[in-house]
Structures are given as structure tokens and as C-alpha cells.
Structure 1
């Protein structure tokens, strides 16, 4: 996982520590394993959308809160063509519901 995954993991860790939770407590609340939480926080693994949603719900924060640092980093990388190729800009407000 790249640098942005590390920042995502740091946001998860910061939100967990604000609640004075252990990794085990977050894992239990999110319905995942403690090892998976450790890997996410280190930026070693990319969580699925379902896991991101479960973690945000367990922590009582929005999904966008967990990606906030990534958006700020992305803004700082705008001048780099290599970063644009690896990391498309986030557009949460532009999401549309797929047709049935």
C-alpha cells in the first residue's frame, strides 16, 4: 500500500485513541480481527469498502473523516504527474447511484 494508505491508517488510529480504545476493542466493535486493524493502521493492507464503513461506524465518525488526511495529501500532490497517475482525485460529492 502506498503513502495514502498510511495516512488512512493514521486517521483510524487517531480516532481509536481519541476513544481510548485498544485495537482489540475496535476490532470487536467493527466485526473484524485485531490483526486486520493492526495492518490497516500500519498502512500494510487496504480495507474493503465494507470494512471502512464498519470501522467508521464503530468509531462514530464519518467515512469522509477517515479519508480527510488523504484528501489533504492529494491536494498537496497536484503538481506531480506521477501522483495523478497513481491516485485519482477523490470526489465524494460527485458520486451517483448506479442504475438498477
Structure 2
């Protein structure tokens, strides 16, 4: 169910918020995202403010650079387990193999600890 407040926001604003959220989750500045997209930092600023929307071509490039699907750019952040797993997967994909193994080991231990009753 879509939050009524979200449904009332223009698509460009929702998309801009999502771009900013994904960029920040990777700890990138607007300039760093702009560099990866081969655009000016002001372009990223306009997208994130909802002042303008990216072309379909740029949307495709944004999704690729941010390692998400175009659909993921167009939907509001979700707390659904599959959506959270995709975000974690994107974060892990930027790590070296040894670091990925380390992080997944810690996550596994935490999950096992939290699942065990009565500790």
C-alpha cells in the first residue's frame, strides 16, 4: 500500500529522493556520482531536488552506476526483506572479496544470535 503523502509527490521529486538515498548509502558525493555518469554535479543536484528528471538514457545509466534496476529507482525505499537484501548486496559488491567474506560472516553470526531463543 502506497503512503498517501508519497502518492501526492511528483515523480521527479520521488525519483530525486531515491537517487539521493542510493548515492548517500554508497557514501558518494554528488560530484562523485556526476563523475561516474559523465555529467556536471549540478545535474545531479537538479535530479535530487526534483527540479528536473533524467532522460530514459540517463535513468538507465544511473541504475547501472548505482547497481540497481530502473524499477528500484522509481519505487520508494522499502523495508521488505528482499529489498533490504538488494541494498546490502549492492554495498557488498563494492568490497574486495576478503572484505565481503568478513562482512557476510559477521552478518551470519548476528542473524544466528538474534534467532536463538533465550540467550
Provide TM-score, normalisation by structure 1: 0.64
Structure 1 outlier segments of 4+, above 4 Å? none
Q: Secondary structure at 1:41's aligned position in 2?
A: helix
Name the structure with the higher helix share: 2
- 1:34 aligns with one of 25, 34, 41: 41
Which range moves more in the overlay, 53-62 or 6-15? 53-62
Conserved 8 A contact 1:16-1:22: yes
1:50 aligns to 2:57 (yes or no): yes
Higher-Rg member (1/2): 2
Q: Secondary structure at 1:10's aligned position in 2?
A: helix
Tell me the CA shift for residue 22 of structure 1.
0.2
1:9 aligns to 2:9 (yes or no): no
Tell me the CA shift for residue 32 of structure 1.
1.3
Provide TM-score, normalisation by structure 2: 0.55
More relative contact order in 1 or in 2 (CA 8 Å, sep 6+)? 1
Tell me the CA shift for residue 44 of structure 1.
0.1
Distance in 1 of aligned mates of 2:55 and 2:10 = 17
